[in-house]
Structure formats: structure tokens, C-alpha cells
Structure 1
């Protein structure tokens, strides 16, 4: 999906750079995202935050957990 229409920057490009360890400021400098009209800045920052190496995977997994804290679907128990 195109996030920055002005510079034609996709969510995949932003994600790739964020996973490589680049900060939003670095990505903004490299790709030019959010440097013209600025309407994409919030979305671009959200993508960087989601792909940041400092964001724990457990945080993303917690949304998939049920009320009892177990992942859904239930994992087979080890015998």
C-alpha cells in the first residue's frame, strides 16, 4: 500500500528500512516520506513503531491471546 503519495513510498519500503534498524528520522531522510504535505507522517510513524526491533514480539502476540491469556487456537500440549 502506498503510504506517502507525494514521494510514492509504500508500507513495505518503510517496514524494510525499520526492520534494518533505521529510525523514523533516518527513513524520512532516506525515502523522503512525510517531507512534503505531511499527511502520511502518522501512518509512517506507526509502521516504524510496529517494525522496530525494540518492539517485543509478545506485545503483538498479546492481541491474539484469549481472556485466559492463552493463544488461540490452543497449542497441542507436550506429552
Structure 2
């Protein structure tokens, strides 16, 4: 099982849309999704404040930034 982190923040319509797309995705293998509120971590807030939502693959720290330029399934299966 591969871990992914969705960097998000409260009251973010784009973050809600990204989460919706992730729930609709059909990855080849099971994934574990962690939703991270960047406002609770100053270092993430500083780095990603205007970039969220960002999907991060834990094993290699690869990032898929909004608007997702790559199909989600492709990123989840890489």
C-alpha cells in the first residue's frame, strides 16, 4: 500500500475538488490517503500557501500540483 498526502487548507474549494477527484480515482493498487491541513504546520504554510492542493507521493516525495497536469490514476500508479 502506498501512502499519499493531500496538502490542503480549510475553506479551499480547489482542495475539495481535488479530494473529490481522488475519491473517484481507481488506482491499480490500494493507497492510503492522508489529508494534511497546512495551516497547522508553519513550515508547510510557508512553502505551500498559494499552491494547494498538492498531492504528494510519500515514497519519493513526488508532487502533483493543482491544476493536476497528469491524470491522477497515472500519478497514483507510478
TM-score by length of 1: 0.24
Whose helix fraction is larger, Structure 1's or Structure 2's? 1
Q: Which has the higher strand share?
A: 2
Give the alignment's TM-score, normalised by structure 2: 0.24
Larger radius of gyration: 1
